[in-house]
Amino acid sequence: MDIVKAMRFGAMAVCAATVFGLSAGCAATGPINNAKEITSVDNARFYVDGKFDAEQGKQAYFELMEKLGAPVYARYKDEPGFLWAVDFAQGDFARFGMGGVFWENNREKEYFAHEIFLLPGQSIAEHCHKPTTDKDGPLQCKHEAWQVRYGSVYGFSEVGEPNLDQFPEVKAMLAACQAPHMNSVHVEKWEADGTVHRLPKDETWHFMMGGPEGAIVSEYATYHDGNGLRFSCPNVAF
């Protein structure tokens, strides 16, 4: 089968000259002329009696991998829970969900490796990361960077000039719970071109959306403590 925020932005006291996700010296990707329309998959596929069917979500990601020519490792299927799919408890997986694999999350050495799977037009919930303290002591807020491996994504951030109106194909795909909060967002399109896109300022709001063909993205980061994760949409659950 073919696949495909009770918080508002805080003070926008961030460096508008530094756009979200770009390492120093890399040029931002602006609006794409004649951008390809994003068509999402049928959301009904992922729900049975109103309940999210994670297995159907994972199956859609297997189809995505095959379509994009990405490897489907045996452990994705053989190890229960290794590859996961979530709809953030919003009932709109096709537009507001994600799949992932945690390759490593090392508290002692404080590093994290993650694979992100996004269907066409599917968005991760907007979020930020705060410093935390656990039984072993204080932890810095998670700092992260992303590299698109297959397909393309749209990167969203409070850092940079608001320009969502320049991306009508993206604006049309925003989930109902996320759309009301996007008036001040900066958007860029990232391709699978080897560029590593870094979060330029800690604790800032950000998320990404799968492009017209969906995407597989590698994330490199400091240790991920779920207690530091904050969502902008109310009632989101991970």
Structural domain contains residue 68: yes
pLDDT value of residue 200: 82
Per-residue pLDDT, averaged over 7-15, amounts to: 31
Q: Residue 139 is encoded by which pair of tokens?
A: 């932890």
pLDDT value of residue 3: 41
Structural domain contains residue 15: no
Structural domain contains residue 14: no
Q: What is the DSSP string of the chain?
A: -------------S-TTS-TT--TTPPPP-PPTTPPPP-PPPGGGGEETTEE-HHHHHHHHHHHHHHHT----HHHHHSTTTEEEE-TTSS-TTTB-EEEEEEEEETTTTEEEEEEEE-TT-BPPPEEE--EEETTEEEPPP-EEEEEEEEEEEEEESSS---GGG-HHHHTT--TTTGGG-TT-EEEEEESSS-EEE-SSTT--EEEEEEEEEEEEEEEES---GGGEEESSTT---
Rounded CA gap, 153 and 191, in Å? 7
Per-residue confidence band for 13, with pLDDT thresholds at 50, 70 and 90: very low
| Cα-Cα end-to-end distance for the chain | 27
Structural domain contains residue 227: yes
Nearest Cα to 142, choosing from 107, 184, 177?
Answer: 107
Structural domain contains residue 21: no
Q: Residue 46 is encoded by which pair of tokens?
A: 């992922």
Per-residue confidence band for 30, with pLDDT thresholds at 50, 70 and 90: very low
Rounded CA gap, 199 and 18, in Å? 10
Per-residue confidence band for 1, with pLDDT thresholds at 50, 70 and 90: very low
Rounded CA gap, 149 and 146, in Å? 9
Per-residue pLDDT, averaged over 103-129, amounts to: 96
- Please check the confidence at residue 197 and state whether its pLDDT lies above 80: yes
Total residues belonging to the chain? 238
Query: Average model confidence (pLDDT) for the chain?
Result: 86
- Please check the confidence at residue 202 and state whether its pLDDT lies above 50: yes
- Please check the confidence at residue 123 and state whether its pLDDT lies above 80: yes
Give the model confidence (pLDDT) of 129-172 as tens digits: 999 999 999 999 999 999 999 999 999 999 999 999 999 999 99
Are 39 and 94 contacting, i.e. CB atoms less than 8 angstroms apart?
A: no
Instruction: Name the residue range of residue 58's domain.
Output: 50-231
Give the model confidence (pLDDT) of 49-95 as tens digits: 999 999 999 999 999 999 999 999 999 999 999 999 999 999 999 99
pLDDT value of residue 10: 32
Q: How many domains does the chain contain in total?
A: 1
Structural domain contains residue 211: yes
CATH value at residue 173: 2.60.120.10
pLDDT value of residue 35: 58
Structural domain contains residue 178: yes
Per-residue pLDDT, averaged over 90-108, amounts to: 96
pLDDT value of residue 88: 96
Nearest Cα to 226, choosing from 213, 236, 212?
Answer: 236
Structural domain contains residue 37: no
